[in-house]
Structure 1
Amino acid sequence: MDEALIRAKIPQDLEKVLGVESQGRYKAEAFTQSFLRKSMQNPTPQDLQRMLSRKAVILGYKRHKKDKSKKNNKKAKGLNARQKRTMKIFQIKPEHQRYELFLPLHQLWRQYIIDLCSGLKPESNPQFVQQKLLKADFHGAIITVVRSKCPSYVGTTGILVQEFKHVFKIITREDRLKVIPKRNSVFAVEINGFISHIYGSKFEQRASERSAKKFKVRGTIDL
């Protein structure tokens, strides 16, 4: 910072534009020396004079560190799997295990599938429908166990009310909650004359994971 520049006055035309008033020589020097004392650690008169004789003074800038703790506190803390089991979040109460209560859900699912398959008309391509159904959400669908390594499951029909990674939970027409393992079972889903078979062993994902998975077409699938 040039000492002559400190003493110089701002031209009158710039004073009006900037809205400031020139300070006198002594006021300007006093302000500059006070500013340098606060900016430097224990400066001597020689240090101040050396700083004033330079052409420019570089003012240091320190960025404030972001407080990461506040950011982390804003994130909502969800329940873990053990807490959900303890609170019985996924359990359906006995008084709610009634087939007729889930019929409106089934009607919504039918309309969802019809819209997903572009109308689901008789002339629709079966492969196109099958590809759509592979990634669809089946909550509300009426499914039937057509094949299983456990004979007692075969013929069981009901509305799918909960889908987990390894099991389907369905409500039967007799108002019973059945838990059917996906592995080693084949399920049939019928809608508007289209019958699709779900091979449970190849369906062991959650509905959210299945929607993003790429399925490979295979000639035969074993239980």
Structure 2
Amino acid sequence: MDEVAVHKTIPPDLVRVLGVKSQIRYKAESFTQAFLKNSIELHPRHDVKNMLCHKAVLLHYSRPKKSKKVMNKRAKGLNARQKRALKIFHIKPEHQRYELFLPLHDLWRQYIIDLCGGLNPTSNPLSVQQKLLKADFHGAIMTVARSKCPSYVGTTGIVIQEFKHVFKIITKQDQMKVIPKRNSVFEVEINGFISSIYGNRFAHRASERSAKKFKGSGSIDL
């Protein structure tokens, strides 16, 4: 690049627009040399004046590269062991009271009625059953109708927790019961509509069950 191009005088029309004046030649040269020396990383053997005489110098802004560690860093949730250690699903004894979960049951009833488009004696049982297979049962009042373990039969309460293999319910006697889904049949009553739930078909978490496709098979024997 020719030095004349670097120190070229500003045209008069730009002087009026920019509000600046051209510097005296030796002052402009001194400023340019100092600016380039501070702005460009040079090898000790290189000379700024020689660089300007032989090639163009591009002054541009380069964005800093993101660290790979930051880009690859992803938020990880807790695993099952950590959740147990923190007792995330633990319900304190003073909170194991039937009346505390009645508002949750009222919310669940309205949720199921809306999900099934209104429940009445003329509702199609098959359609209701298919929707219940994918529904969330936290807050439902369940009764164990049949089970291979006779001590579970007749147990009734509000579902306060649902896991892959068990329901946790709280009874009117303020007792928390853990009922296995496998080999058990549960009954749920909503607005006089009683539906049977076969635990063998419910061996999934509520979040998994909502996306699962169930076959329209009949009841499953214990």
Class of the TM-score when normalised by the shorter of the 2 chains: 0.7 to 0.9
* Contact 1:99/1:174, CA 8 A, preserved across alignment: yes
SS at match of 1:36: helix
- Using structure 1 for the length normalisation, give the TM-score: 0.81
Q: d(CA) in 2 for partners of 1:211 and 1:157?
A: 24
Q: 1:184 to 1:116 in 2, by over 3 A?
A: same
Q: 1:23 to 1:218 in 2, by over 3 A?
A: farther
SS at match of 1:23: coil
Q: 1:95 to 1:61 in 2, by over 3 A?
A: closer
- Using structure 2 for the length normalisation, give the TM-score: 0.81
**Match for residue 28 of structure 1?**
28
Moved over 4 A (4+): 67-75, 77-80
Matches of residues 14-53 of structure 1 in structure 2 within 5 Å?
Answer: 14-38=14-38, 39=40, 40-45=42-47, 48-53=49-54
Shift of 1:61: 4.8
SS at match of 1:175: coil
Matches of residues 46-125 of structure 1 in structure 2 within 5 Å?
Answer: 48-54=49-55, 56-59=56-59, 61-66=61-66, 80-125=79-124
Q: d(CA) in 2 for partners of 1:199 and 1:27?
A: 92
Alpha carbon RMSD of aligned pairs, Å?
3.0
**Structure 1: 5+ residue runs without aligned partners?**
none
Q: Once structures 1 and 2 are overlaid, which stretch shifts more, 136-145 or 122-131?
A: 122-131
**Match for residue 163 of structure 1?**
162
Q: d(CA) in 1 for partners of 2:197 and 2:24?
A: 90
**Structure 2: 5+ residue runs without aligned partners?**
none
Q: d(CA) in 2 for partners of 1:53 and 1:195?
A: 92
Q: 1:45-70, CA deviations, whole angstroms, 9 ceiling, x for partnerless residues?
A: 4x63243343x322365432335777
Seq. identity, %: 70
